[in-house]
Amino acid sequence: MAVVGEIVGKVAHEVLNPVSAMLTSVEHKLETSHQSIDTVELIKEILLDWETHFNNGNLESYLQKTVEGQKEKTFGQEDFESMYALIRQFTEHIKENNKEWEFLHHHILRVVKIVDGLRVVARRKKTVEELDINQPLKEALELMKESLRKQQIELSQKQPVDLPKIKADFNEMLQVFCNLIRNSMQAITEKNEHKGGKIAIETMANKAKLLIKISDTGNGISKENMAKIFDANFTTKGRHEGTGLGLNISRRFIRECGGDIKVEKSSKEQGTTMAIWLPLKQGKHL
C-alpha cells in the first residue's frame, strides 16, 4: 500500500500540473470569448444606427455631421475608425484563442501520456518473459509502417534470426522501439521537411549482451542538448509533437531489465545512432 500511495501521489502531482495549467487557460478563453461578444455587440450597434438613419433617408447627412468639439472629424470618419478598431480587437481575440487551443492540445496530450504510462505500470504484474527481441521490434515497425511510407523513409534491417532470448516485458520493449523510431522519424522530417531519409536497425549479440542499434539520417542532437535528452520533460519539439517523456520512460524500462541505452554517436550532418544493450538470460539472477 505504501508503494501504491507513493505512485498515486506522484501521478496526482504530475497530472495536476498540466490540469491546472489547462484550467487557467480555459478561464482565460472564457474571458476573451465574453470580450469578443462585447466587441461584436458594439459593431452591431453602429450598424443598427446606420440602418435607422438609412431607413429615415438621412444616412448621408448623419455621416457628414461633424463630431462635437472636433470640427475636422465627421461622424462617418469616427464610425469607420471605431469599426476598424473593433474588428482589429476581434481578430486579436481569435488569434489569442487559437494560441490557447494549441496550449490545451499540448497539455491534454501530456495528461494522456502520463495516464497511459500509468496503465503500463498498473498492468505490471509485468509479464517478464523469455523474449525474442525481434518480436516487439517487428510489431513496432508494423505500427509505424504507414508513417514511414508517408515520409518516404527507407528502412534497412540487419537481424540474425537465431538471436538469443532476453528477459523482458513485451509491451515495454514495444514502447521503447516505438519511441526511438518515432524520434528518428521526427529528426529526419525536421532535417529535410519530408524529403525522406533512412533508418537502419541492427541487432547483434555476444555471450553476455544483446545490442540493438537504431540509426537515422536526421538532424542530430546538439552538444548542449546531449546531456538533457533523457531528462523527463526535455523536448526540442513543437507543442503538437513532443512532451519530452519518450526517452526518459524508455531508459527506465531498459534499465529495469538490467541494460542501458545511450547515444552512440550524433552529428548534424550524419544523424544519430542510439544503442540499447540488454543482458542475456544466463547467470543465476535470471
Selection from Mg ion, ligand ATP, none that 35 binds (CB < 5 to 8 A by kind) is: none
Q: What's the closest the beta carbon of residue 235 comes to ligand ATP, in angstroms?
A: 3
Separation of alpha carbons 11 and 73, rounded Å: 62
Distance CA 47, CA 40 (A): 11
Residues forming a β-bridge with 74: 66
Residue 218 makes contact with Mg ion by CB under 5 A: no
Say if residues 128 and 167 touch (Cβ distance below 8 Å).
Answer: yes
Beta carbon of residue 141, minimum distance to ligand ATP (angstroms, whole number):
16
- Write down the residue that cell numbers 546531449 correspond to: 226
Of the pair 128, 275, the CB lying nearest ligand ATP is at 275
Between 74 and 236, CB nearer to ligand ATP: 236
Binder among 18, 218, 246, 279 for Mg ion (CB under 5 A)? 246
CA end-to-end distance (rounded Å), the chain: 27
8-state DSSP, 164: P
- Give the shortest CB-207-to-Mg ion separation in angstroms: 32
Rounded to an integer, what distance in angstroms lies between the CA atom of residue 184 and that of residue 197?
Answer: 10
Taking the complex as a whole, how short is the minimal distance between the CB of residue 182 and Mg ion, in angstroms? 6
Specify the residue, 197 or 246, whose C-beta has the smaller distance to Mg ion: 246
Binding positions for ligand ATP, rule: CB under 6 A? 179, 183-184, 187, 216, 218-221, 225, 229, 234-237, 242-248, 272
Query: Do 266 and 247 contact (CB within 8 A), yes or no?
Result: no
Label the pairing between strands 153-158 and 197-205.
parallel
CB of 153 to Mg ion, least distance (A): 16
Residue 49 CB, nearest approach to Mg ion (Å):
57
- State the sign of the Cα–Cα–Cα–Cα dihedral 177, 182, 183, 188: positive
Q: Kindly determine how many residues on this chain lie close enough to bind Mg ion according to the rule CB under 5 A.
A: 2
218 binds, among Mg ion, ligand ATP, none (CB under 5 to 8 A by kind): ligand ATP
Region of 56-64, 176-184, 189-197, 218-226 interacting with Mg ion (CB under 5 A): 176-184
In whole angstroms, give the CA distance from residue 261 to residue 277. 6
Chain contacts with Mg ion (rule: CB under 5 A): 183, 246
